[in-house]
Amino acid sequence: MKQSFWKTLTKPIIALAPMANVTDAAFRRIIAKTGKPDVTWTEFVSADGLFSAGREKLLPDLWFTENERPIVAQFFSAKPELMYQTALLAQELGFDGIDINMGCPDKGVEKQGAGAALMKNPELAKEIILETKRGAGNLPVSVKTRIGYTKNMLDTWLPHLLETEPAAITLHFRTRQEMSKVGAHWELATEAVRIRDAHDSSPKKTLILGNGDCKDIDEAREKAIQYGLDGVMIGRGIFGNPWLFTPRTEPIGIQEKLETMLEHTRLFCELYKVDPETGYGLKEFSVMKKHYKAYASGFDGAKELRVRLMEAKNLSDIETMISDWINQNKKARTIFME
């Protein structure tokens, strides 16, 4: 089993979840600067797309900097031969690890037989993992999945995955059918660890990470200890809070929030060559708006600012709106200038 960087991490491991159009290169750079997780995932990328005419449009999703290490590239596909080729590419690009998405509920992804659909085809899932490992060289291969498709099937699904000896398995403690409509079933974490230990009790055993509804690192560590997990992956808690992985004794001030939001926006527009007039580039400016909703919260006047930010069409609009807002809010201006 190839674990490489996984062996160097202190438990419990706290990881940043892969989220499409959220954990892109721009946001990950901001996160790495303000407070790094123990391990970072890229957005998920289509292996099929990487070996098609759309390759150039997808490669920016695999941009990363040295400050983000260790960083894992996440891919999805239902074609083992393409996952082999993608693993070779991950080696070439210098990633620290490869993760296979076997839990995404997106209909387009499932239509290809990938993502969560692989839970209905365990033999293909195993073949995909083995071919990825064959192409990965010294890079460790991990899997991110769910507890089942329409019901909890850990007792059958997890052993199938463990047979291929991935370096780690991250379990989102919901079924595909449940999506995010119910709370994550963390009570199943103990069962997942038991199944893993029954399969392999050696020091090189597959690591088990949990995922779902975890908002901060304190809660993540508590859950890891409570359920005997090797780590926890945090997703939505990162919205508007790139400081998530660095403990703070004081709350984030308005100045720091707004300056970081501006830096994030400028970096996004620069990296993805966003046209200042049209808002289009390698990624659309509108992608940033989900971040603005989170950054502009938790302080007096945040709602009014948030409404204005949703109307922005480019970086210039954002700069003007923030400047105007500060000038119109004496209290905020005082804090901002301290």
Per-residue pLDDT of the chain (338 residues; tens, 9 = 90+): 455 899 999 999 999 999 999 999 999 999 999 989 999 999 999 999 999 999 999 999 999 999 999 999 999 999 999 999 999 999 999 999 999 999 999 999 999 999 999 999 999 999 999 999 999 999 999 999 999 999 999 999 999 999 999 999 999 999 999 988 899 999 999 999 999 999 987 878 999 999 999 999 999 999 999 999 999 999 999 999 999 998 777 888 888 899 999 999 999 999 999 999 899 999 999 999 999 999 999 888 899 999 999 999 999 999 999 988 877 775 544 444 34
Instruction: Identify whether residues 116 and 263 lie together within a single domain.
Output: no
Q: Which of 104, 147, 233, 269 is catalytic?
A: 104
Distance CA 23, CA 234 (A): 12
Domain end (from 212, 238, 264)? 238
Domain containing residue 73: 4-238
Helix, strand, or coil here: 283? Answer: coil
311 in a structural domain: yes
Instruction: Identify whether residues 216 and 102 lie together within a single domain.
Output: yes
Identity of the amino acid at 37: P
Per-residue pLDDT tens over the stretch 275-304 = 998 999 999 999 999 999 999 998 888 999
Distance CA 119, CA 211 (A): 17
Domain end (from 180, 213, 238)? 238
Domain end (from 238, 262, 290)? 238
Instruction: Identify whether residues 207 and 259 lie together within a single domain.
Output: no
Identity of the amino acid at 54: G
249 in a structural domain: no
Instruction: Identify whether residues 293 and 227 lie together within a single domain.
Output: no
Q: Catalytic annotation on 269?
A: no
247 in a structural domain: no
Please tell me the total count of domains within the chain: 2
Global pTM?
Answer: 0.94
Buried b (16+ CB within 10 A) or exposed e, 150-165: eebbbeebbeebbebb
